Structures are given as structure tokens and as C-alpha cells.
Structure 1
Amino acid sequence: MTQIVLGADGAVHLEPLKPPPDPGPHDVLLAPVHIGICGSDVHVLRKVHPFITPPVITGHECVARVLSTGDAVTSCAPGDLVVVNPLHSCGKCPACLRGATNLCSSAKVLGFGLPGLARDRVTVAGRFCHRVPAGVPSRLAALTEPLAVGRHAVSRAPAEPGRILIIGGGPVGLAVLLAARGAGPITLVEPVQAKRDLAAALGADRVLSPDETPPDADTTFDCVAAAPTLATAARSTTPGGTIVVVGVPHDATEVALPRLQRWEIDVRGTGLYRGEDIDAVLAGPPADAERLITAEFPSGRAADAFAATTDPDQIKVLIGWPDPAA
């Protein structure tokens, strides 16, 4: 058995994996079926992530088959397909007790602060496993984590967002688009033509390149969080509007505070998701979300999968394992 490790040498390695022990009473033994590669995973590999330094076992976007469970597990059963919530919160602090597990101060994420899920076999606590409903294909379920990011981001916006601007058309920006469809007219700004084309196909009312001036927006989702995109967000959001910062900034970034103060523009952060977001996505994943998947490689070609992410036309690259239930 093997595991996929992002090495300190900047390369992707397949390393031997010792068979995990039998699950404890609250644990689940899993066989991953699909792992999605996130931009943050690539940042770790390139040693530009602000918090994580390789080597690290990668993998946080995971759908897996349950092989066995401990006696106390009620979230799933052997044979089930599950999505793993990679945000491992303590379950005991005030934030966790009120359901805000993404605000747990001691939470760690698999594949970053904890060893990831890109292993032939892996044991996790059963409380982090969400059963995939019958009829949801495993490839679509593999998108649950980024779709949950999008859903949670939209939940941070006003209930009536009005005119919507999304800056960035990568996986997260497109996930926000999918979650915001029907809430108001949507404009999406993205430099890559293939991603603009997909955004239009997924329901954006208008798609623009960054050198075009976006229309005024009541709610802006910045899915990049760089100085130029935050400046665009501040200019484009109307008085009394809201900016939701979805992208992960690499460091402190200047914002147009005088404009925000004068025109009472709210700036809200959004961090990851909660279990309820994962459950909501699994209960009704948009079938056309599978269009976000642009390439898939077997686990033995993990290095090729990461190399593929350098192509700007790629959106979501998956790494796959044989499904034990097939």
C-alpha cells in the first residue's frame, strides 16, 4: 500500500504505507475512491503556503468507501460511500457546541495540519464521515468540499444579495456561482477564457476579463483575495453593499478603507464550511457541477495529476483509486 506525499524537494512521491490498525469503537476504515487537488495543495507543494511546509501526506477533498467501522459508529456502515469532512474540530469548545465548527480555535485540516487522506487505506473518526445518498455518483460527490465552500460563502452574504459580482472563476469561484444561482443577476470576472466559457454555461449572466470594468454590484465575492481584486471589489460594490472575502490571502493586504467607511460597505470573511454545508450539498448536488472536473489520474500517476494543475485551463483535477464496491 502507498500514500501520496508532497515532498520537501518540491516533488510528489508515492511512499510505502503501513496497513492501518483496525478501527477503534468510534473510527471508520476507508478506501479512498477520489481525491481532489486544491490550489492550497499546490501551494504546499511549491512551498508558498503561508502556514504549511512539506513534507506532508496530501488529500483533503475525499470521497471514500467504508470498509469497516467501530461498534459506536452511527454515521455510516460498511459498504457506504462517504465524504470526509477534513476540518477536524475539537467538538467541545463554545464554537463547536453551537455548530460553528469552522471557528474552532484548535481545529486542524487533513492534508495540512494533519496527515491527509491520499492513502490506499486510512482510518478517521466516524463523526467526520458524511454518507453519500444513493444515486449521487462518486465523481460528483468528490466535489462536495469545494461546493460546501461555495455554499458557506453564499450563506455569509445578505439573504437578498441583489446584483452579484464574483471575482475569480477557479473551482471556488465556480462553486460560489453554483450556490448563488437564482439569487440575483451574476457577473463573473476571470482571466482564462475556458473558465469564462464554463461560467457562462453554468449560469453566469455576464462574464468579463479583468481588463473590463464590471458593473456595480450589491454583493461581491472576492475568490482571489489579492490586492488588485480587493481594489476591484471596493470600487464595484455599491453604497450599503457587502464584500465577502472567499479567497485565501497570502499576507496582509491593503483595502480601500475610506470608501468602505464612507459608503457603509460591509466586508465579511468566510472560512471553510460546517457539517451542515456538507450535508446540504450532498442532499442536492447540482448535476452540472461535474463539469468542474477537467482531468483525472490514477493514484500511481499522482505526480502527473499535480503537474496537470499548472495548465490554466484545468479546473478540478482528481486522483482516483479502484472502488472496492465496483
Structure 2
Amino acid sequence: MKSVYLEKPNVLRIEEIKEPIRKESEALIKIKSVGICGSDVGAFRGSNPLVSYPRIIGHELAGEVLEIGENKRGIKVGDKVIIDPYIYCGKCYPCSIGRTNCCEDLKVLGVHIDGGMVEMFTHPSEMLYKVPDNIPWEQIPAAEPLTIALHAIHRTHVKAGEHVVINGAGAIGVLSALSVIAYDAIPILVDIIDERLQFAKGLGVKYIINPNNEDSIKAIKKITNGRMAEVVIEASGANSAIRNTIDYVSYGGRIALTGWPKKETSIPTDMLTKKEIDFEGSRNSANEFEEALRLMSKGTVDVKSVISKVVTLDQVPEAVKELSEHPERYLKINAIL
């Protein structure tokens, strides 16, 4: 069967591999659609230190169940499913309190272990979610980045009417903004790429700020009537943006760090105390797939709008390269098998 095979940084191709053999605790899935994620691009560039090579990439995965044993989720042969790509041990302390997303031995598909950009895939049956029939195949993989946006909202306990600054207008940032709207709160999207900001504005994000063009602190102060944002979600991973969260957040406010920085950030800890800021790490997602699928099925969050391009599996290597070289042109590229 075909796979998207990353031999080493900048060497990505379609490679024939053997079909998988299902274990009793697993399902055999015919992959029908996949999403290209920033982590796939990072693996391609060689900038993601968690990736080992060679590696089959891909963790935003949807497919049809071909074989499955007994399972608690009631998944049956023929069901349309999305895959939870975060394999946890179930034994460590975070797993014991339900925070499986930060398992001490977490294995992410396409990063620590081989991913699912293949024609056939096996995965633990208990880590599958049935997808509503009205969500088209090309949209289903977007549920995975939507869960990451929702996780940040849950970590910061976003309430209706609050202002939520979101650093980064990539796929996670835009989906965070749309989710904030779904929670009846007010997103303020901050990015240095005008094209992405204008795109988000066309989706209903009223407040957009480019720090290169205006004083972002003054702009947020004006929007919030001097309070600053009750919540800040950092979705870019840029060190300067991480530092700016402290200036953007209100006294008594909350910050979620979702973006993955490449190096440590120096922050003024005196301001954490002065403002009594709640700082929350927000890694991946945990138990958010059902909510994401529900929001998509009802049309509350329109993921179709963030899918810039749909390609075939054979076109994925070139699409990853294009996304790496021209990130400003796309939010999400998905593939249909």
C-alpha cells in the first residue's frame, strides 16, 4: 500500500509498504482523508526535535472501519470514524487523573511513531470516534486541530462575553477564534500576516491586529475599554508572542500556551504576581473529539472555510513542500484517498 514516507528532513515521497495486521484490541481502517498539520511541516523541515527518522507522517486521520473486535464505544464495521492520535500509557500520574494528553510517555502519530498517511491503518479501537454522516470526508480531519482549540478554551474556562486574544492566525488560531465565537465570547486575533487576518475577518472575526502596523497593546486596551483581555491563547509558538501574552492579559486574567516554542522564553515573573495571572499549559487535547464533531455537524464551527486546498495522497509530498515554503497562502491542506 502507499504511504507518505519522510526519509529525512526535506526528503518526502510516496513509498510502498506492507499492509498492517490488526491486533485484537485494534481496528483496521481504510483511510479516506488526512490533514497536513504544522507538525508534519516541522518534521519535513527538520525543525521538530521530537521527530525521529525515517517516519511516516500524519495524525489528522479519518476513515472507514473494515475490521474491529468488541469495544466500549460501539464502533462497528462500516462506521465513519476519526482517529485520536495521542497514544497514552494509561499508567502514569497524568493518565490516572484523566489528563492523557500529557502522559509521561505520550506517543503522537507521525511524530514519535509512524502516522497514518497510508491507505490502511490499525489503531486502538477505544481511540476512535464515530463521525456524523453529514460531515464530508474532506472536512473530517479538521476535527483534530479543532480539539486543540477547544482544549485551550477549556483550560482557560472561557465565559460568554469575555475578550479572548489569540496570538497566531494559522489553522489553530483561526479555529480558536471561531470556537470563541461559538462560546459567545469575543475573539481578538493577532498576527503579522495581513492575508491571514483579512481571511479571518471574512469569517466573522471582528477584531484583528497586526503588531507590525499598530500598537497591539493600545489596540487591545481600546477594544476592551481599558481592561485588556480576560483570556489570551498563544497559538503561534513565537517567543515574542509568548512574551506579549503578559501585556495583553488583564489583571486576574488567564493565559493558555498552545504554541510550541523552539527555545525558552524570558518572561517578567514580577508581572505574573502583580497581575495574578493564571498560566495554563495546553497540550494537544483530551476528550474533546465529541464536542468538535458536534460543533462541525451543527455548522456552529465551519471548518470548510479553513480548508484552503484538497489534494490526493500522491500529491501530499508536494503539498507539504508548498505549505513549508509559502505558509501565508494556506491555512489547511487536506487530502482525499
User: How would you bin the TM-score normalised by the shorter chain?
Assistant: over 0.9
1:284 aligns with 2:295: yes
1:299 aligns with 2:313: yes
Structure 1 81/48 Cα, relative in aligned 2: closer, same or farther at 3 Å?
A: same
1:245-293 deviations in Å (ceiling 9; x for gaps): 110111211112222222212221101101x201111122135221110
Letter in 1 for 2:310: E
Distance 1:5 1:109 in 2: 16
Higher helix share: 2
Letter in 2 for 1:150: A
TM-score w.r.t. the length of structure 2 is 0.89
1:162-206 deviations in Å (ceiling 9; x for gaps): 221111100110121122114432211122222112211233221
List 4+ stretches of structure 1 deviating above 3 A.
71-75
1:176 aligns with 2:176: yes
2:223 paired residue number: none
1:35 paired residue number: 34
2:243 to 225, 231, 240: 231
Q: CA RMSD in A?
A: 1.8
1:113 paired residue number: 112
Contact 2:58 2:110 (C-alpha < 8 Å) held by counterparts: yes
2:201 paired residue number: 200
1:60 paired residue number: 59
TM-score w.r.t. the length of structure 1 is 0.92
Contact 1:226 1:253 (C-alpha < 8 Å) held by counterparts: no
- Offset, 1:210: 2.1
Structure 1 220/3 Cα, relative in aligned 2: closer, same or farther at 3 Å?
A: same
- Offset, 1:94: 4.0
Structure 1 29/242 Cα, relative in aligned 2: closer, same or farther at 3 Å?
A: same
- SS state at 1:106 partner: coil
**Bigger mean CA deviation after superposition, 70-79 or 120-129:** 70-79
Contact 2:138 2:336 (C-alpha < 8 Å) held by counterparts: no
- Residues 46-85 of structure 1 mapped to structure 2, 5 A cutoff: 46-72=45-71, 74-85=73-84
1:131-177 deviations in Å (ceiling 9; x for gaps): 10222222221101100000011001134372211111001101211
1:324 paired residue number: none
- SS state at 1:156 partner: helix
Pairs aligned (count) = 319
2:253 to 241, 266, 273: 241
- Offset, 1:9: 5.0
Contact 2:243 2:265 (C-alpha < 8 Å) held by counterparts: no
1:313 aligns with 2:329: yes
Distance 1:45 1:9 in 2: 5
Distance 1:151 1:320 in 2: 25
Contact 1:166 1:189 (C-alpha < 8 Å) held by counterparts: yes
Letter in 2 for 1:284: L
Distance 2:241 2:73 in 1: 44
- SS state at 2:211 partner: coil
Runs (5+) with no aligned partner, structure 2? 221-227
- Residues 263-274 of structure 1 mapped to structure 2, 5 A cutoff: 263-274=275-286
Distance 1:271 1:17 in 2: 31
Contact 1:221 1:243 (C-alpha < 8 Å) held by counterparts: yes
Distance 2:270 2:260 in 1: 23
- SS state at 1:63 partner: strand
1:229-256 deviations in Å (ceiling 9; x for gaps): 1222111212211221110111211112
Contact 2:56 2:114 (C-alpha < 8 Å) held by counterparts: yes
Letter in 2 for 1:178: L
1:57-106 deviations in Å (ceiling 9; x for gaps): 10101111111113457541111111000001123444334322112212
Contact 2:309 2:333 (C-alpha < 8 Å) held by counterparts: yes
Contact 2:180 2:186 (C-alpha < 8 Å) held by counterparts: no
Distance 1:209 1:12 in 2: 34
